[in-house]
Amino acid sequence: MKNKDIYIDDIGKGYPFVFIHGYLGSSEMWRYQKEFFSKTCRVIVPALPGFGESYKSKSLSSINGMAKKVIETLDQKKIEKFNLIGHSMGGMIVQEITKLVGNRVNKLICFATGSIGEIPGRFETIDETREKLKKDGTAISFSRVPKKWFVKGDQDKNYFLCSNAVKNVSLETADNALLAMKNWRGRENLEYIKNATLIIWGDKDTSYNFEQVDTLNKNIKNSRLEIFKDCSHNVHLEQSDKFNQIIKDFISS
């Protein structure tokens, strides 16, 4: 459904569970999580401004701005307490949400993400991605980057969700998000996260290396790390059943 100027799925009944997608993502990228968790939870899944189903809304160029947009959405829906998961760039956004309204976050899941946007060891620097985006255009860039998110590349059976997500994304939206990630720092905030936190990472992830998730795990006091073997950046699409069950156990415990 539309909520002001961004698209939000709001399905199921029960304790609210908020899902935040990553760079070049959409609400639909959580397809298998929406099906699974809406049986027991009220599942809230926005498409961030400029992305996916919200492609007509003006994009934002800061992680803080994106976090505030999600909080505004939850306020409009009168959702006070909730469980929260963020993937990749969405993992930065959920850390920022927790910084702003941590008392409202019941349990936190940081998935395939880190405490800084400009990651040493990434397959290329963010500036390199930005330059290629401007030089090659969206069609080439959007077919190039998401392939790196699956062990099987564009041969993965769920790659089509990435293809669908980027259909209407503008160069400005993509570049704004890259700029937002490049300029974001969350490292110093980790010690203030008191929420029970689950960190999830695929051992073949070339976007976020082990050092990034290890930094989260070592600095968030009440956290644990779950590593998926033979998965890349999109664990939730590569091993969705196991992913869903581990999260269900975490939020239920």
Instruction: Produce one character per residue of 170-196: b if its CB has 16 or more CB atoms within 10 Å, e if not.
Output: eeebbbbbbbbbeebebeebbeebebb
Please tell me the CATH code under which domain 2-252 is placed.
Answer: 3.40.50.1820
Contact 114, 216 (CB under 8 A): yes
Domain ranges of the chain: 2-252
What is the mean predicted confidence (pLDDT) over 215-231?
A: 98
pLDDT of residue 24: 96
Q: Does position 1 have pLDDT exceeding 60, yes or no?
A: no
Question: Binning pLDDT at 50, 70 and 90, where does residue 118 land?
Answer: confident
**pLDDT tens, position by position, 148-186:** 999 999 999 999 999 999 999 999 999 999 999 999 999
What is the mean predicted confidence (pLDDT) over 138-156?
A: 93
21 Cβ contact partners less than 8 Å away, ≥ 6 residues apart: 27, 29, 30, 45, 47, 48, 51, 52, 87, 90, 165
How many other C-beta atoms lie within 10 A of the C-beta of residue 137? 11
Q: Does position 120 have pLDDT exceeding 90, yes or no?
A: no
What is the mean predicted confidence (pLDDT) over 41-68?
A: 97
In whole numbers, what is the pLDDT of the chain averaged over residues? 95
pTM summary value: 0.96
**pLDDT tens, position by position, 19-33:** 999 999 999 999 999
